[in-house]
Amino acid sequence: MATETRFGGVRVRYDSTKSYPDLVAALLADIGEQPVPIGEIGTTSDDWQSYQARVEKYVGPSGFMLFALLDHGAWITKAGIGRKVLRVILGNPLIAITMIRHDVTAGLFAPVELLVLDEDGGSSLTYVKPSSLMVVEPNPELLEAAEALDTKLADLAAKVTREGPADC
């Protein structure tokens, strides 16, 4: 028997005067340009301390690392949509555990995802606020951890979308 729990997500969009390539470059400069071999790290680490030590070397300045890139722009042109669209999956298992320890179903939304779009006169970065997805029932500890992730993600988005060097 299936059960359903309804909840609402909160979409956040940052507009930028940066070009699409410049916004993608700023994001990848922070989170890394190559996906982290997270599965391999998990299967070849003997305990939490060794896992943590191996993961930490991939963490970027804003606390995230790249898990995957999905270039929707590479295929939607075939359907007549002439846009550059990049879905970026990023996260940090050392942050994710702060939520998953309070509710393992929070793992449905960790790692997090961003969508980078080309726009007239610039670009944009959109994501769904993690706490709005993870916390579907009262759970103060999970809410606190998820809101900390919200803040880190907002800081990253603000940093990479603003004009000028990404490390300003």
CB-neighbour burial class of residue 66 (10 A; exposed 0-12, middle 13-18, buried 19+) = buried
Residue 104 CB partners (closer than 8 Å, separation 6+): none
Q: Which amino acid is at 146?
A: A
DSSP state of 166: T
Q: Average pLDDT over the chain, rounded to whole?
A: 94
Share of the chain above pLDDT 90, in %: 92
Cis peptide before 111 (omega within 30 of 0): yes
- Spell out where 18-136 has E strands: 65-71, 85-91, 112-119, 122-128
State the pLDDT at residue 140.
Answer: 97
**Topology of the domain covering 11-161:** TATA-Binding Protein (3.30.310)
Average pLDDT over residues 39-49: 92
The domain limits of the chain are 11-161
Share of the chain above pLDDT 70, in %: 97
State the pLDDT at residue 168.
Answer: 44
State the pLDDT at residue 163.
Answer: 83
Q: At which residue do the structure tokens 């670009």 appear?
A: 123
pLDDT digits 0-9 by tens, 50-107: 999 999 999 999 999 999 999 999 999 999 999 999 999 999 999 999 999 999 999 9
For 160, the enclosing helix (H) or strand (E) is: helix 140-161
pLDDT at 167 over 70: no
- Confidence band for 139, pLDDT divided at 50, 70 and 90: very high
pLDDT at 164 over 50: yes
pLDDT at 165 over 70: no
Distances (CA, A) of 1 to 4, 87, 112: 10, 33, 29
State the pLDDT at residue 166.
Answer: 47
pLDDT at 154 over 60: yes
DSSP state of 6: -
